[in-house]
């Protein structure tokens, strides 16, 4: 009704597209966003909304094109780079896209952290460490940087330092289930399941209903507590 009375109102059109998509009417949502682009062809927000809609509809080619159109308007628009990276078919493809994002000046915290994780997985520890230093300079109080540093340190066999990074992340964001999961995983790597279990249980509680809960439960089930010793045995 609002769009009927205000057919050129871009925020109303975007909200209509959101509502249409939420009802499972993806084609109508796309049509509404394309109508909106006729009014604001250079809007990164509308182009991004169209790209995200295509991605959620699993129209990969159309989504890639819409993300690239968004980046033609603003090459530093980090959400578009992240969306494009999500569509990559391999970790190497994602790493290439996020490296391209860095070169374009889209050095957001999330771009830096995702790229650091991929560099760790690729065995490029020095590059990952440099990216994490830049991430910490960008947002010193972000727990995510310390979580990724813990992954890097653990991969290098520096487990005690990894545990300290998990602890720093937990101090910054005590309610973040990933910080508890981080600590639990490192204790397991240290061969201390009894110390890992309380942190894994906390991760499961804080991350209830998410993949974090499932991962924590899986680790708990894989490391059952040892039976209490019988003093008479």
pLDDT given for residue 32 in this prediction: 94
pLDDT given for residue 227 in this prediction: 64
Question: Quick one: tokens of 156?
Answer: 């290098």
pLDDT given for residue 221 in this prediction: 93
| Contact (CB, 8 A) for 200 and 216 | yes
Query: Helices H, strands E: what count in the chain?
Result: 14, 0
Percentages helix, strand, coil for the chain (3-state, rounded to 5) are 75, 0, 25
Question: Quick one: tokens of 107?
Answer: 């050095």
pLDDT given for residue 203 in this prediction: 97
pLDDT given for residue 224 in this prediction: 78
CA dist 77 and 80 (Å) reads: 6
Q: What is the dihedral of CA 60, 65, 66, 68, to 10 degrees?
A: 120
> In tens digits, what is the pLDDT along the chain, a chain of 233 residues?
887 787 888 889 999 999 999 999 999 999 999 999 999 999 999 999 999 999 999 999 999 999 999 999 999 999 999 999 999 999 999 999 999 999 999 979 999 999 999 999 999 999 999 999 999 999 999 999 999 999 999 999 999 999 999 999 999 999 999 999 999 999 999 999 999 999 999 999 999 999 999 999 999 999 877 765 444 43
pLDDT given for residue 7 in this prediction: 80
For residue 82, what are the contacts with CB-CB under 8 A and spacing of at least 6?
101, 110, 111, 114
pLDDT given for residue 233 in this prediction: 39
CA dist 210 and 224 (Å) reads: 22
pLDDT given for residue 228 in this prediction: 56
Question: Quick one: tokens of 140?
Answer: 């010193």
| Contact (CB, 8 A) for 168 and 186 | no
Cα-based distances in Å from 92 to 78, 117, 120, 222: 19, 12, 12, 31
**pTM for this entry:** 0.84
Cα-based distances in Å from 138 to 56, 100, 177, 206, 232: 30, 19, 23, 27, 59
Exposure on the CB side of residue 174, measured as CA atoms within 13 A: 1
């Amino acid at each position: 009704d609002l769009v009927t009375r205000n057919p050129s109102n871009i925020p109303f059109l975007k909200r209509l597209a959101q509502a249409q998509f939420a009802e499972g009417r993806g084609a109508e949502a796309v049509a509404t966003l394309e109508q909106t682009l006729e009014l604001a062809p250079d809007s990164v927000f509308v182009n991004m909304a169209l790209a995200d809609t295509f991605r959620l509809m699993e129209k990969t080619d159309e989504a890639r094109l819409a993300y690239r159109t968004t980046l033609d308007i603003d090459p530093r628009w980090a959400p578009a780079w992240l969306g494009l990276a999500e569509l990559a078919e391999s970790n190497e493809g994602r790493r290439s896209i996020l490296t391209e994002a860095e070169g374009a000046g889209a050095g957001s915290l999330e771009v830096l952290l995702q790229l650091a994780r991929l560099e760790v997985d690729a065995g490029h520890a020095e590059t990952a460490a440099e990216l994490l230093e830049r991430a910490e300079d960008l947002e010193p109080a972000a727990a995510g940087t310390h979580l990724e540093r813990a992954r890097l340190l653990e991969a290098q066999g520096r487990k005690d330092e990894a545990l300290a990074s998990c602890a720093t992340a937990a101090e910054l964001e005590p309610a973040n289930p990933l910080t508890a999961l981080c600590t639990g995983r490192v204790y397991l790597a240290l061969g201390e399941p009894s110390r890992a279990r309380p942190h894994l249980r906390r991760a499961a509680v804080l991350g209830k209903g998410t993949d974090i809960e499932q991962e924590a439960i899986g680790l708990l089930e894989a490391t059952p507590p040892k039976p209490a010793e019988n003093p008479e045995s």
